[in-house]
Amino acid sequence: MEFKPHDYQQYAIEYIETHEVAAVLLDMGLGKTAIALTALYDLLFDYFEITRVLVIAPLRVARNTWPQEIEKWDHLKDVRYSVAVGTEKERLEAFRRHADIYIINRENVQWLVENVPFEFDAIVVDELSSFKNWNSKRFKSLMKVRPRAKRVIGLTGTPSGNGLMDLFAEFKVLDMGQRLGRFITKYRQDYFRPDRMNGQVVYSYKPLPGAEKRIYDKISDITISMKASDHLKMPELVSSEYRVYMEEPEQAIYDEMCEDLTAQLDKGEVTAANAGVLSGKLSQMANGAVYTDNGDVEHIHDQKLDALEDITESMNGKPLLVAYWYQHDLDRIEKRLRLRKIGFARLDSDASIAKWNRGELPVALIHPASAGHGLNLQSGGSALCWFGLTWSLELYQQTVARLYRQGQASQTVVVQHIITDGTIDERILKALQYKDRTQSALIDAVRANLRK
For the stretch 272-326, pLDDT in tens is: 888 888 989 999 999 999 999 999 999 999 999 999 988 887 786 789 999 999 9
Judge whether 350 lies within some domain: yes
The reply to whether 276 and 383 lie within a common domain is: no
The reply to whether 369 and 291 lie within a common domain is: no
The reply to whether 294 and 219 lie within a common domain is: no
- Work out how many domains the chain is built from and give that number: 3
* pLDDT tier for residue 134 given thresholds of 50, 70 and 90: very high
- Mean pLDDT, range 411-427, rounded to an integer: 91
In angstroms, rounded to a whole number, what is the distance separating the alpha carbons of residues 313 and 436? Answer: 31
The answer to whether the beta carbons of residues 292 and 265 sit under 8 Å apart is yes
The reply to whether 116 and 161 lie within a common domain is: yes
The reply to whether 164 and 53 lie within a common domain is: yes
Of the candidates 26, 29, 24, 8, the one whose C-alpha atom is nearest the C-alpha of residue 413 is 29
The reply to whether 272 and 392 lie within a common domain is: no
The reply to whether 47 and 166 lie within a common domain is: yes
The reply to whether 259 and 395 lie within a common domain is: no
Which CATH number covers residue 14?
A: 3.40.50.10810
CB-based contacts of 237, cutoff 8 Å, min separation 6: 400, 404, 412, 413, 415
Judge whether 18 lies within some domain: yes
Which CATH number covers residue 368?
A: 3.40.50.300
The reply to whether 82 and 113 lie within a common domain is: yes
Which of helix, strand or coil describes residue 399? Answer: helix
Give the torsion sign (CA, 426, 431, 437, 440): negative
The reply to whether 211 and 105 lie within a common domain is: yes
- Paired sense of beta strands 101-105 and 201-202, if any: unpaired
The reply to whether 292 and 221 lie within a common domain is: no
In angstroms, rounded to a whole number, what is the distance separating the alpha carbons of residues 36 and 9? Answer: 10
Question: Of 109-113, 219-223, 275-279, which gets the smallest average pLDDT?
Answer: 275-279
- pTM of the predicted model, to two decimals? 0.67
Judge whether 413 lies within some domain: yes
Of the candidates 328, 334, 260, the one whose C-alpha atom is nearest the C-alpha of residue 299 is 328
| Bridge partners, 226 (sequence order) | 26
Domain of 278 in residue numbering reads as: 249-300
Judge whether 450 lies within some domain: no
The answer to whether the beta carbons of residues 408 and 235 sit under 8 Å apart is yes
Domain end, chosen from 231, 261, 285, is at: 231
